[in-house]
Structure 1
Amino acid sequence: MRLRTLSLVTLLLVAAAAPISGAAAAGASAVEQQSTTTQAEACSFPYSATDATGTEVTLESDPERVVTLNPSAAQTMWEIGARDEVVGVSQYAAYLDGASEKANVSGANGANVEKVLAANPDLVLVPSSSYGASKERVDQLRAQGVPVFVFGEGTSLAYVANKTEQIGRLTGNCEAGRATADDIRESVSQMREVLAGAEKPVGLNYFYGYTSGSETFIGDVMTTAGLRNGAAEANITGFAQINDETVVEMNPEYVVAPEESPVPANEAWNSTTAIRENNVIRVDTNYLQQPAPRSVDAAETIMQAVHPEAYEEYRAMQAENGTATGESTTAAETTTTVVVDDTPPETGAETGTGTETDADSPGFGVLAGLVALVGAAMLAARR
């Protein structure tokens, strides 16, 4: 995630160095006070908002203890500088720096209600998958008077920006939430600007026999980065299985896959341009499959591989605008884990395997049963 700090620091230094008359200082102070008051009022409590379930959630005061039931919500809290307010996380948020200091509220098949309640939260943030898989757990939390906000299924980077801003508002971190959301929007706008005239090759996202078609978050990450979504062009909607015949007919020039997830090596796949030219783009699992601020990094990884010259132009544009160009300042050493989260409610069923299948890979809930058999062993081996 890119945090715009340089320009702000420059403005502060210029302001500090400039002489200010008494009248001007008084006027500036009045304007500043008015602005601060306006911002405080805009971020005041009580605050009410309607979540994805149609439930009006009311927060009587600024939450000081937040539990996140999926790593995308946790990542967002980290990125808006509110990690100290988080008291509970799911097991798949372990890659975040300092997450080990938080209570692990995961159970055998998703969130453990008792662990969540033991964390004494003022607010619980819930992905659509967790709600679809175990609505009764949300009901149990609400029955105890705990405010629970359920998010909808992410389908785009615009959704990520809006979700980031919403989390900022819910947790009383309004300014930081807006700033981080604006950074996401600006990065997306800059990518599209430098790629406006570029020829966009066909790309295919692949994950254990499934792909991301139209109306998917990963599909939008790919197209923002300068690929055509071959699955969408093949009339695949949502997260669906893809067969070898479709892959051959599509003939993708690039394959986008999470780190360490296998790509088929059979005759059909080996005939594609992507495999013949070794154009398999490996993207950090925690960034590609979590609808959260660091998804911008996933798009950048793809863009750098497919359009290196445009990527350099994009980097120069960010530097010119006073935008930091390094990796997120809150990022820790990443533990690559195949996780499944933010799934459509109708497909996010519990698997009974002892692995959390609602951990943050947007939309891949249809994989829960399949990946539970193939992936659980991988997960256990890597832990």
Structure 2
Amino acid sequence: MRLRTLSLVSLLLVVALAPATGAAATGLTDASPAHPAASAAQADSCSFPYSATDATGTEVTLDSDPKRVVTLNPSAAQTMWELGASDDVVGVSQYATYLDGADEKQNVSGAGGPSVEKVLAANPDLVLVPNTTYGFAKDRVDQIRAQGVPVFVFGTGTSLSFVADKTEQTGRLTGNCEAGRRVADDVRTSAELMREALADEEKPVGLNYFYGYTSGANTFIGDVMTTAGLRNGAAEANVTGFGQVNDELVVEMNPEYVVVPSGATIPTNEAWNSTTAVQEGNVVEVNENYLQQPAPRSVDAAETIMQAVHPEAYEEYQSLQAEANETTGTEAQTTGESSETDATAAQTTAAGDATATTETGASSPGFGAVAAVVSLLGAALLATRR
């Protein structure tokens, strides 16, 4: 247990430091997860071949829908699970085992990072690489890419908006376009509804703390906190990126809430004990698999913080979510009914076309029945949006 805890600490520190050091050193793009190079028509059709430029500036081309995907970080694995595409994942990192069924996949981790040999042995069609992994294991990722394996590296996550974009891009890369758009829209909607419910609330000062480090400006965790209704005290203290926090800063900041990943603790000394957060028992523990990973379940992390800090606004948020879900369901049903009507009309037209073809002896095929099937399938997809 102690060894696992130390390993987890190492992972958390790597996640914290890679965006500030490794990512910058390797020239990863921070603004977005990727810059698609494909045409709009290609993207809408979810067809293959498909090409997109990743955060390293490399154009990645997929000749066909990848059915053997390796994820080199838990955030990439979590995203695939949320897309309902876990069956396409053949390799995961050792810290992704919290996901249902992940322990049945090939563990591609090695000493100090991904194992090139294990990744190649999994015979992947695509390797998904979050920026944290590329930041500290660039040489290994480059070795995998040198073997002709399509490798897509994402940029540095700084917000929930990034998570949504990254999710949608993952869906496109893996041929799960509809799921990617749906889950991405859920992330965007949840963040928007949180901000709406918190519009009139006073925002107390919060501090993210994990093993001597904090999340300052331009960090994904910082955005999770502010979306949930906290001010980021570290950012206001001019901390940019992930940096160390000392007792003097803690006293000066005097956080009203402290956010920690599950299993982590805060120091028990005079500086920390003097804070409003400690004196009022406002230490919010959040599942580290959601708080530390720029992936769809980060919404759960924001919800946990919001519920602890703004319980009344959280209830309003839940009501807004219920209304949004009901509206979406109604729209899907209406669209489905419309599609069924269109399908019926298409079938009628098809029957007429078939009759006309028989009567005239024409040999060209009719496409009405095919259109009907496509319409019905579209209705089914829309009806299962939620």
Q: TM-score, normalised by structure 2?
A: 0.73
1:377 match: none
2:180 match: 177
Q: CA deviation at 1:203?
A: 0.3
* Identity score, percent: 78
Aligned to 2:207, the other structure's residue is in SS state: strand
Listed one character per residue, the Cα deviations across residues 187-244 of structure 1 (whole Å, up to 9, x for unaligned) are: 0000000101100000000011110000000000000000000000001100001111
User: Is 1:284 equivalent to 2:249 in the alignment?
Assistant: no
**Aligned ranges 1:212-251 → 2 under 5 Å:** 212-251=215-254
2:374 match: none
Distance 1:40 1:222, change over 3 A: closer
* Structure with more contact order per residue of length (Cα contacts < 8 Å, sep ≥ 6): 1
Aligned to 1:256, the other structure's residue is in SS state: strand
Structure with larger Rg: 2
Q: CA deviation at 1:42?
A: 2.1
User: Is 1:90 equivalent to 2:82 in the alignment?
Assistant: no
2:80 match: 77
Distance 1:99 1:178, change over 3 A: same
Alpha-carbon separation, structure 1, partners of 2:144 and 2:242: 30
User: Is 1:265 equivalent to 2:268 in the alignment?
Assistant: yes
1:45 match: 48
**Aligned ranges 1:367-382 → 2 under 5 Å:** none
Distance 1:104 1:232, change over 3 A: same
Aligned to 2:325, the other structure's residue is in SS state: coil
Alpha-carbon separation, structure 2, partners of 1:191 and 1:122: 38
Q: TM-score, normalised by structure 1?
A: 0.73
Q: 1:155 aligns with which of 149, 154, 158?
A: 158
Letter of the 1:48 partner, please give it: S
Q: 1:117 aligns with which of 113, 116, 120?
A: 120
Distance 1:39 1:134, change over 3 A: closer
Letter of the 2:129 partner, please give it: V
* Count of aligned positions: 287
2:306 match: 303
Superposition RMSD in Å: 1.4
Distance 1:323 1:140, change over 3 A: farther
Q: CA deviation at 1:293?
A: 0.2
User: Is 1:190 equivalent to 2:154 in the alignment?
Assistant: no
**Aligned ranges 1:310-349 → 2 under 5 Å:** 310-322=313-325
User: Is 1:166 equivalent to 2:166 in the alignment?
Assistant: no
Alpha-carbon separation, structure 2, partners of 1:130 and 1:294: 19
Q: CA deviation at 1:134?
A: 2.1
Structure with greater helix percent: 2
Unaligned runs of 5+ in 2: 1-40, 328-386
Aligned to 2:157, the other structure's residue is in SS state: coil
Q: CA deviation at 1:140?
A: 1.4
Q: 2:69 aligns with which of 66, 75, 95?
A: 66
Listed one character per residue, the Cα deviations across residues 29-74 of structure 1 (whole Å, up to 9, x for unaligned) are: xxxxxxxxx8996201111111111100000111010000000000
Listed one character per residue, the Cα deviations across residues 323-349 of structure 1 (whole Å, up to 9, x for unaligned) are: 69xxxxxxxxxxxxxxxxxxxxxxxxx
Alpha-carbon separation, structure 2, partners of 1:179 and 1:277: 40
Q: CA deviation at 1:318?
A: 1.0
